[in-house]
Structure 1
């Protein structure tokens, strides 16, 4: 039998996108858990043969196996300071990697039938830009590679939030000048100056949330859309922007005003006022968490957690030794802090110049378009840009087009202190409405009350390092994510068959 007569193997391609200043190694746990679960399901189905999980990394050996297969591609084209270059620019880089991976699989006699993408932190915004870019192709990328699962984990969907405290105001004033083009996009200070001013001078995050735009059109194609957020202690991406909501019901958990129940995956199943009978004011987590804990036989019931003690300093200040030596770094902090701040300032300045040069080269390549399809490609809407792609030009100067109106706040579950809830702009409230209207969107809330910053814990980012063993708390959350992704991919491949 010739090679042309050999049956082609269907593949579910899962793309993983890391976040700001990140690297592929940050997502090792997602890659490992997806592979392990896929293998478990394959063995459970009674199939025989070698492992059918293929890891798409530079040093991975090719693994031949029965259909269907799982291929995991961890993006590596925008590591480190390259994440500063813009959400849309990095989406283009990720798209190039996907094309190369599909071509490689095709040469091996494998067809990418199902396509899933997951973004962690900033990677979630890159994922939203990526699927819109892929959908603008003619024919659409998804005409051949059927969408299966779209997920974001601890992603700032609303950008950087503004609160009423003086500390947040100071951080906001400084932060909007950091991280080059990506920073401006996160603070809603960017505009697409290559497009006509009428209706198009909007921040990228607003464009990504346009209900008539190509980005939400592409998102609606995915039968599974999961938004994972930390309910507490995420100092990098707070709950409201990660969960795409206008109110944080967990803000008073440290005061004991809110009781939270979680399942065996460390996922919130419900929350309610501590001082009130559960059956009187039980708050089933629908808008906040999507009520998305697995309903499977044999799953242990949800449990109420005792009050946890959060560390008062981040783990970096504690040395990996026992006894007094664990605190040996403390006396040196007053001397080290100025050196660290100076190093950070110099590094950030250098990286900003380097990022500006990369953006200039990217914009002048003649083959790139930094914004894609502000409306559905079949529509002709002058006010929204009639689906036309943006030109390549990128101006490093900013237009401050963001609004800072407070608006009315949703009534809180627990009594609130001034400044605890985000002050959302009109644009951010529109993002919440538009994204929440996606019918298949589910919110999942992870709960890690005993860690200083839960942003890394939710993906067990450094759990393989003994010093950060506490991040193993995130592995059950990653397993639940893997279950959703693998099952969605198998469902798409099953329909193809």
Structure 2
């Protein structure tokens, strides 16, 4: 779905997430039009809608690259010359976008125009594996990985991508890959990451960080950016010193916790009621969609899907030339408390990546424990941080579904804080 003025030379591509559709980014598109009008042409990508997102990041990235090239070609035939490109990815759409960027780079497309902005909102750059150890990790991360076909395997980093013998997300972040080389071409790169209540994409993976400074909200003093309604957190200094507590602070904290429990009680009751039948329906549907997805992937690989994608099968490394059921799925892993590495384990991680900044609090201190991530995940974080991103923690407090609220995924009063997020992005990170 392509829209906006025929006068603009700047194409902005909006990419939805897992189970998504173009309308999920309607508010983002509307905000872009209101702010920039005829200066931008918007493409709300549609080739990966719905269950087609089961097909994996590779196939989704090829479809997206093809859709972008088709759009640029169609506009060119109408006399509209695209000279600038920006891409916005939401949730898994950010990973599909990064794959497509590598393909566009390999095809020379990024040499013919100016890559300007790349932004992701709540994107699992490091996968969606819950930081756990031992048996719990095998159970909870194993279950999620097997419910959404190829995409699930890739998001949980249990796949082996092509002949590399490595997970796709690891290859996607390899410094020598076409994907990182293409990403570096964008002048501005930014990520927005929810610090709480994102049941799909927790903070560490969307913010590319090895620790969680916001794990205990009652015992920190968040440093908000002025003018953005205590939603956007200062990217250079997340936390301020704690102020002396008055005698009533303990009782205040108790009542805050009671209020939070009461607020979430209807939601938890609903989950308990739905967990049995909804899980059965969800898993049955997942089995059906996985079979259909494998068929699409096979036909795609054989070139029998009606479109020619063979030219995207390029060398990857430069040196080698649905809501209730969705909620249940999201909560399988999200309800688990993360595990952390011991002091000696954390030291080993840092020694193994000594060329990169030490995992620590935003002020450079090491007061936050290191999450129990996998070696591949630590390497992904180091590699992408070396590329460079402006990172904005987002504190959505008025709705429990922050993953949808961060982009105002649907017209809903409770998602108003997401409008503040988009305003901050347009004010500070999106340049025409």
CA distance in 1, matches of 2:377, 2:418: 29
Give the secondary structure class of the aligned counterpart of 2:403.
coil
CA contact (8 A) 1:257 1:414 kept: no
Aligned to 1:4: none
CA distance in 2, matches of 1:142, 1:434: 21
Aligned to 1:16: 14
Greater helix share, 1 or 2?
2
Q: Work out whether 1:272 is the aligned partner of 2:239.
A: yes
CA contact (8 A) 1:37 1:486 kept: no
CA shift for structure 1 position 268: 0.4
| Residues 354 and 311 of structure 1, relative CA distance in 2, 3 Å threshold | farther
Aligned to 1:283: none
Query: What TM-score, normalized to structure 1?
Result: 0.69
Aligned to 2:406: 458
CA shift for structure 1 position 98: 1.2
Query: 1:195-344 residue pairs with structure 2 within 5 A?
Result: 195=163, 200-253=164-217, 256-263=218-225, 264-265=227-228, 266-269=231-234, 270-272=237-239, 275=242, 310=260, 317=267, 336-344=274-282
Query: Larger deviation: 367-376 or 478-487?
Result: 367-376
| Residues 405 and 230 of structure 1, relative CA distance in 2, 3 Å threshold | closer
**Larger Rg, first or second structure (1 or 2):** 1
CA RMSD of aligned residues (A): 3.0
CA distance in 2, matches of 1:312, 1:371: 53
Aligned to 1:159: 127
CA contact (8 A) 1:88 1:371 kept: no
| Residues 93 and 19 of structure 1, relative CA distance in 2, 3 Å threshold | same
Give the secondary structure class of the aligned counterpart of 1:112.
coil
| Residues 372 and 182 of structure 1, relative CA distance in 2, 3 Å threshold | farther
Count of matched residue pairs: 373
CA contact (8 A) 1:34 1:486 kept: no
CA contact (8 A) 2:340 2:370 kept: no
CA shift for structure 1 position 163: 2.4
CA shift for structure 1 position 362: 0.6
Aligned to 2:139: 170
CA contact (8 A) 1:227 1:444 kept: yes
Deviations along 1:209-246, one digit per CA (max 9) or x if unpaired, are: 11111111111111100111112221211111000010
CA shift for structure 1 position 336: 5.0
CA contact (8 A) 1:87 1:125 kept: yes
| Residues 311 and 226 of structure 1, relative CA distance in 2, 3 Å threshold | farther
Aligned to 2:324: none
CA distance in 1, matches of 2:93, 2:271: 33
Deviations along 1:100-127, one digit per CA (max 9) or x if unpaired, are: 2212212321111110001000001011
| Residues 261 and 311 of structure 1, relative CA distance in 2, 3 Å threshold | farther
Q: Work out whether 1:119 is the aligned partner of 2:81.
A: no
Deviations along 1:312-348, one digit per CA (max 9) or x if unpaired, are: 6779959xxxxxxxxxxx6x87665432222112111
CA contact (8 A) 2:14 2:45 kept: yes
CA contact (8 A) 2:145 2:156 kept: yes
| Selected match of 2:74 from 70, 90, 104 | 104
Aligned to 2:396: 448
- Structure 2 portions without partners, runs of 5+: 1-5, 246-254, 322-338, 348-358
